[in-house]
Each structure stands twice: as C-alpha cells, then as structure tokens.
C-alpha cells in the first residue's frame, strides 16, 4: 500500500472508519490516544466501526470482523455507547486504524494477516500491517546507526559480557517488552551480572538489546510523534521518578514539554523517508539525549499530553492525514 506525503486541507469527505482496539471499557479515559482519535473523527462526521482484536477473522478468503458502530464522548463517566454488533466485510470500510496495544505476540501477528488481506481488497490500514510485523520497535531503531548510541542485539553470553566490560555502564532490555518492563542497568563488575543475563535472555535462548547507558535519561526520555514523516513541533519528555531508570509514564515518570533540538530534528529527518516508504503513518520516536532508542509503531501514545502541555492537537492532524490518504 503506497502512502504519499500529503498536505493537510479541510475536506467534506466522510469515511467509514474501522478502529481495532482493546476493549473500550478498559481504557484510561484521561490518557487514551485512540479515544482522542475517535472523538476527532466523529466530530468530522465519520462513521466509526469499533472492533476488538479477537473480532477479526477470515472467511473463505475474505477478511471480516464482528463490529459495532460506536458513539464516543468526552465524558469521563460515560465515554462511549455501542450499537448492536454485526458482521462487516473489512474491504467495505474506507480506512482502519490498527490500535491494538502490545504485547506483540502471535495473536497480534495473525491479526496483521487479516488486515493485510483487507488492504489487498482496497481498504487503507494505518499503520501498514506488514510493516507492523517487520518493524520491531527496538530492532527497527538499529537501521539508523548514525542516530543511535553503541548497541548490540544478541543472546550470546560472551558477547553480552564483553559489551558490559567494554562500555562499563549499560542498559539491557527484552526486544518484546513494553512500558519499561524488564529493563536493567548493568555496570562493569556487577555481582548480579550473570543472573541478570540468564534471566533476561531465558538462559541465552532469546535475543535482547544492550546499549550504552545514556546519562541524559535524568532529563527525560523524549517522545516525538511523527505523522506522515513530519514531526510534531515539540517533544514530550518523560522524567523518571526518583530512584528510577525508566522514562515511561507507565512506570511512574512525569511528563513535561520540550522544544525540539537541532539533533532531534536531524534524527526525525533521518528516519522519515523509511517511515513513509513502509506506510507507517503514525510513529513515536523515543530519544534520550542525542540518541534514538526506539521507533514505536504499534500503538503510539501521548496525544493527550501533546494537547495539554504543548497545545498541539495531534488527533486533528492525524485524522486529517487519514482523510487525505483514504479519499
């Protein structure tokens, strides 16, 4: 599916917009970016077809879902109403937002196959389901070594130990982790080095990423949302809680707005052509200090933080981009 770089403009185009997301009753109303997208789409007059990940299926070579039309509201006590569920052929929709949260497990992969089948029959899927499979959020960053600190992706015991010995102060994390889970800081001569490596690699059977520790984490792990290759004109810096390593809001970090540095803009420009080529309409770049650490493609967040802290309406920019590509 080719997705070009469009200029945003007002439109009277009305979409049948599918949204694949985790159960809407379980979301965090104050923080949920998918809800912000849906509210914006509804305000523009689009019909929203809500579907949970387990509702996607293939019937004799055609992609379907059990879906409900949904009305959404900016009301913390009553943010949605669902109509009666029905069977919908996905190719009858104009666009589908894949907003299933990680973990990126086998069921997630199977859902991308269903969505890829629908895309072959003409519906636009955001983000491109093939690219969701191809672009692990940590490994994808390594395609831009000029943007990254020293790093290694391996399950090999000796390679990991040698990296720690060479770089003295390191951070190690699983490739399929989310929300800051299972991230460790390891220093040279750490008495727990062997047990940490054994645990995080499942006895050296699963690859992990290890990278140099970046001291600027204390100033915040910057999230920069990029839509159609264009970064928002600010970053949301997630400041780790006292005594914490992880700059993740899910791990207790606090959010502040920061201006983009020249290096931030340069990193965005380095990554943007690949994002456009791969059909990754919405991406969250994570940058610590001067270094790219992750390229988040599955369900990027921080829409609410951008609105509250920067007065940037990411939901509006995103839905207008979906409109331009889909009509």
Residue 10's SS3 state is coil
Is 138 among the residues known to form the active site? yes
Which of 238, 304, 305, 324 does the annotation list as catalytic? Answer: 238
Residue 36's SS3 state is helix
Is 296 among the residues known to form the active site? yes
Give Cα 122 distance to the centre of its chain.
Answer: 24
Which of 32, 94, 294, 320 does the annotation list as catalytic? Answer: 294
CA distances to 37, 158, 319 from 312, in Å:
13, 47, 14
Q: How many other C-beta atoms lie within 10 A of the C-beta of residue 295?
A: 26
CB 198 within 8 A of CB 205: no
Is 294 among the residues known to form the active site? yes
Which of 124, 228, 296, 324 does the annotation list as catalytic? Answer: 296
Burial 62-76 (b: 16+ CB within 10 A, else e): ebbbebbbbebeeee
Q: What is the DSSP string of 101-169?
A: PSP--HHHHHHHHHHHHHHHTT-EEES-HHHHHH--TTTGGGG-GGGS-SEEEE--HHHHHHHHHHHSE
Q: Looking at residue 75, what DSSP letter applies? A: -
Which of 40, 286, 305, 323 does the annotation list as catalytic? Answer: 286
CA distances to 18, 55, 92 from 87, in Å:
13, 9, 11
Which of 246, 264, 278, 323 does the annotation list as catalytic? Answer: 246
CB 152 within 8 A of CB 163: yes
Is 5 among the residues known to form the active site? no
Which of 173, 222, 278, 304 does the annotation list as catalytic? Answer: 173
Is 223 among the residues known to form the active site? yes
Residue 190, token pair as written in the block: 């750490």
Which residue, among 44, 56, 50, 55, has the nearest Cα to 25 in the 3D structure?
Answer: 50
Is 73 among the residues known to form the active site? no
CB 230 within 8 A of CB 243: no
CB 31 within 8 A of CB 306: no
Q: Which residues belong to the active site?
A: 138, 173, 223, 238, 246, 286, 294, 296
């Amino acid at each position: 599916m080719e997705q070009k770089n469009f200029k945003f403009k007002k439109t009277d185009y009305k979409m049948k917009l599918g949204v694949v997301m985790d159960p809407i009753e379980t979301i965090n109303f104050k923080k949920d970016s998918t809800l912000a997208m849906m509210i914006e789409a509804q305000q523009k007059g689009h019909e929203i077809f809500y579907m949970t990940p387990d509702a996607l299926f293939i019937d004799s070579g055609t992609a379907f879902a059990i879906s409900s039309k949904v009305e959404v509201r900016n009301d913390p006590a009553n943010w949605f109403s669902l109509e009666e569920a029905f069977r919908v052929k996905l190719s009858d929709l104009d666009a589908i937002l894949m907003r299933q949260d990680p973990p990126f497990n086998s069921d997630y992969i199977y859902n991308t196959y269903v969505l890829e089948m629908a895309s072959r029959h003409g519906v636009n899927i955001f983000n491109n389901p093939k690219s969701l499979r191809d672009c692990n959020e940590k490994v994808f960053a390594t395609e831009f070594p000029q943007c990254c600190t020293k790093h290694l992706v391996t399950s090999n015991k000796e390679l990991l130990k040698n990296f720690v010995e060479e770089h003295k102060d390191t951070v190690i994390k699983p490739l399929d982790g989310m929300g800051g889970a299972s991230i460790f800081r390891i220093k040279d001569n750490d008495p727990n080095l062997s047990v940490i490596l054994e645990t995080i690699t499942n006895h050296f059977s699963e690859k992990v990423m290890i990278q140099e520790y970046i001291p600027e984490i204390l100033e915040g792990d910057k999230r920069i949302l990029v839509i159609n290759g264009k970064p928002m004109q600010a970053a949301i810096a997630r400041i780790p809680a006292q005594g914490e390593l992880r700059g993740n809001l899910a791990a207790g970090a606090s959010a502040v707005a920061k201006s983009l540095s020249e290096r931030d803009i340069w990193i965005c420009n380095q990554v943007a052509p690949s994002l456009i080529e791969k059909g990754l309409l919405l991406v969250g770049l994570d940058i610590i200090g001067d270094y790219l650490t992750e390229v988040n493609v599955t369900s990027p967040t921080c829409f609410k933080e951008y609105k509250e802290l920067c007065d940037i309406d990411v939901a509006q920019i995103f839905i207008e981009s979906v409109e331009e590509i889909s009509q």
